[in-house]
Amino acid sequence: MDKMVKVSLQIGKLVTVIIIEKLTLLLKVIGLRASFYILTIVGLYYYYHQKSLDVLLPIIIGIFISDLIKSLYENFLMIKEDKLKTTHSIKYLQDIYQNNYKKELILNESNIEFLYNDCFVNQKDFKILIEDDPNKIFDPDPLIKSSYSEIMKAHKGSYIKNFETIRLDGYTLNETTRTLTLLTSRSNFYNHLLTNRAIDYEFEPGLSVRKIFEYGPRLNKFETTKMSNHIGINGIVQLSDGYTILPKRGTNATYSKNKITASIASPLISSHDKNGTVELTYEGLKNEVKSLLNSRLYIDTKTISDSSVEVIFLGFGREVYEGGKPQFYFLVKLNSISSQDYLQILKDKKKEMKNNNLIDKDSNLFICNLLSLKLKKNYSGSVESMNYYTDKLKFKSVEFSFLANVWHLKEAGYLEQFKVDQVANENIINLELQKEPGEQLKKSV
């Protein structure tokens, strides 16, 4: 009997979730104005039955239908926008780049294929130097500048604004001195929207940035490419009990709309002080990653000690889908924040999250068991989540840079550390060992 009641409750919970999700989606599609029209129609019909049928009802229904068609068209464009801007077809890109960048990620007995050009895979003994030229500004190719207005039309359904970004001009690896040297300069986000982020958008029939400048069989070198190539920051956060944070992008993001991404997925923005542009250093890069904990995940880093935050550089590579855009990958360990702590942060920051106007804003932040991640060949899948309606969060797609981040985690030997129970137990043991012997005795008694 108890089992039947439990099953009935689970079915009821699932049905309720589906109804809530579908109603929420409907509300997003028809918009608040259309919802107001529906309520007005119902009200008029109830209070002024005859008059509303004769005069008012047809007018309001006409306005409602007009607005509904417009809303549906705008949502259709949003759904199609990502595909028009950047192709996700592996077959198409493999034909262009002749299978040069194929990668495999084996996860939960599934073999997931994606395209990625790895440049530097985590080698802990390497020293990392940055040679930065903040006065050097990227200038797009004249052909791209002449088509500025047309290419920017690719981002109609996205929230956009311009700001200064840090461009990767090249790098050198010295195996003898075990040194990675990064050469950087400046660009801006609009240059990114014109090149990498709209690389497959046909601004003229048969013409796109990829077809003209990145036609294969390999990506152009950083030194010769016509892409804006600002550095993207991707980081997977590990909470103290082994859980991670997986955002879902909003519908007005410039890329990966409604997709699951890495905990932190953001452009590297150029810093300024009263004296002008700040020169980038490796320590400055890691500090920028820490600052993204606040702006992207609403974690106030001032309230936690520096020693409890570990920023581990996993390596970097090039995003084939966006024409060779560099992505830097990190593991960010938050040793003093548990999944329960972060649940409380999400509750406390609801208003701040709602009013956030960041580029590529996330619509939701989910606390997940990374090792439970299951993916299909079409990149849909599921993952266990403690703050979703049901125990499992199901999604239609993931961002490819997220797959590369997990790949880097695995290559560096960190992925197994996300075993939730094991990490939680280790943290408890470590805390107990740090206490004075008398305190441990009291706890045991």
**d(Cα 138, Cα 191) in Å, to the nearest integer?**
8
What the block records as the tokens of 196 is 């990498």
**Residues 250-261: pLDDT tens digits?**
888 999 998 999
Average pLDDT over residues 36-46: 65
- Please, what is the average pLDDT of the chain? 86
Compute CA 275 distance to the chain's CA centroid, rounded to the nearest angstrom.
Answer: 33
**Residues 218-252: pLDDT tens digits?**
999 999 999 999 999 999 999 999 999 999 998 88
Q: How are beta strands 232-239 and 264-267 bridged, if at all?
A: antiparallel
**d(Cα 72, Cα 441) in Å, to the nearest integer?**
66
Tell me which of 121-125, 216-220, 398-402 is least confident. Answer: 121-125
Q: Quick one: which H or E segment has residue 35?
A: helix 2-47
**d(Cα 144, Cα 147) in Å, to the nearest integer?**
5
Residue with the two structure tokens 């060779």: 324
How long, in residues, is the chain?
445
pLDDT surpasses 70 at 330: yes
pLDDT surpasses 80 at 423: no
Q: Are 78 and 252 in contact (CB under 8 A)?
A: yes
Average pLDDT over residues 185-209: 97
**d(Cα 20, Cα 15) in Å, to the nearest integer?**
9
Confidence of residue 402 (pLDDT cuts 50, 70, 90): very high
Confidence of residue 354 (pLDDT cuts 50, 70, 90): confident
pLDDT surpasses 60 at 31: no
CA angle 169/172/178 to nearest 5° reads 145
Average pLDDT over residues 103-130: 92
**d(Cα 48, Cα 57) in Å, to the nearest integer?**
10
- How much of the chain exceeds pLDDT 90, in percent? 65
**d(Cα 336, Cα 380) in Å, to the nearest integer?**
32
Higher-pLDDT residue of 146, 388: 146
pLDDT at 416: 93
Q: Is the peptide bond before 217 cis (omega within 30 degrees of 0)?
A: yes
User: What is the sign, positive or negative, of the torsion defined by CA atoms of 283, 284, 290, 292?
Assistant: negative
Compute CA 162 distance to the chain's CA centroid, rounded to the nearest angstrom.
Answer: 19
Query: Following DSSP, what letter does each residue of 245-257 receive, concatenated?
Result: EEEEE-TT-SSST
Q: What dihedral angle (degrees, nearest 10) is formed by the CA atoms of 67, 70, 76, 81?
A: -130
